[in-house]
Amino acid sequence: MGASRKALLIVSLLMASTMSSGCLALSIQREIMESWREPPVYIDEDVTVGWSETFETGTELNSVLYQNETNIVFDETVSSLVINFRAQFPYSSTVEDLIGNDTNQVRYVEARLWEPGSQQSGGVPFWEVRATQDYPGERWDWQLDFIEGTWVLEVEARGWGVTTPVEQLSFHDSFDLYATMTKPCVHFPSSHEVAANGEMECTFLSELED
């Protein structure tokens, strides 16, 4: 149907509805608008938290301590959880061959994910990892009925980082730790925007149910 013809039809129907009485007119107008409203689009949206850290100690001989934690709120709509972890400790194997396990106290990354209440009660982490040497990128993936509530992602790490005029002699310990949960999100064409790259603005289903 052409734009002019559609516009004429809209005007005709609206005029007809205004000629009707009271509630009948409002009902007709509401039905007309509802029939032309685009249906909502359901999207699986990711929520990611975590950190990427590169150590720099400068002239200090001691390694640098890094600690952080963040909360992740799980509700009944969460369908999956993914954790990505990577760590780099240049020359770590060589150093350990020279001075033994002492390096494990000054160059390491420890990361844990706690279910609601388990951290305070001295329970066992839902997930944990410890790295003292190069740890290639690894991914953990879960799809299950998660315990609802506030989960805690935490990390403690120590590392060295030295920048010298000679690039080949510079080195930096580093790590990446990210947790991503997937939740259903609803895009309403009448009120949400669509970005140039096609990404749809949406509202999480759990927020609509509150």
Specify whether 22 is located in the same domain as 57. Answer: no
**What's the pLDDT score for residue 32?**
47
Integer Cα distance of 38 and 184 in angstroms: 19
Domain count, the chain: 2
pLDDT tier for residue 62 given thresholds of 50, 70 and 90: confident
Which two tokens mark 138? 């690894």
pLDDT tier for residue 41 given thresholds of 50, 70 and 90: confident
pLDDT tier for residue 102 given thresholds of 50, 70 and 90: low
pLDDT digits (tens, 9 = 90+) for 156-206: 999 988 887 776 667 899 999 999 999 988 888 777 666 676 677 778 877
pLDDT tier for residue 70 given thresholds of 50, 70 and 90: very high
Specify whether 166 is located in the same domain as 74. Answer: yes
Integer Cα distance of 33 and 31 in angstroms: 6
The reply to whether 14 falls in a domain is yes
Specify whether 55 is located in the same domain as 137. Answer: yes
Please, how many CA atoms are within 13 Å of residue 107, restricted to the half-sphere of its CB? Answer: 28
Q: What is the CATH number of the domain that holds 100?
A: 2.60.120.380
Specify whether 14 is located in the same domain as 65. Answer: no
Q: Which amino acid is at 49?
A: V
Nearest to 179, CA basis, from 74, 42, 43: 74
**What's the pLDDT score for residue 15?**
55
The reply to whether 208 falls in a domain is no
Neighbours of 120 (CB within 10 A): 9
The reply to whether 107 falls in a domain is yes
Percent of the chain residues topping a pLDDT of 90: 44
Give the pLDDT mean for 21-44. Answer: 60
pTM higher than 0.85 for the full model?
no
Percent of the chain residues topping a pLDDT of 70: 71
Integer Cα distance of 70 and 49 in angstroms: 8
CA angle (152 as vertex; 146, 157 as ends), nearest 5: 130
pLDDT digits (tens, 9 = 90+) for 78-94: 999 999 999 999 887 66
- Domain of residue 10: give its range: 1-36
Specify whether 175 is located in the same domain as 86. Answer: yes
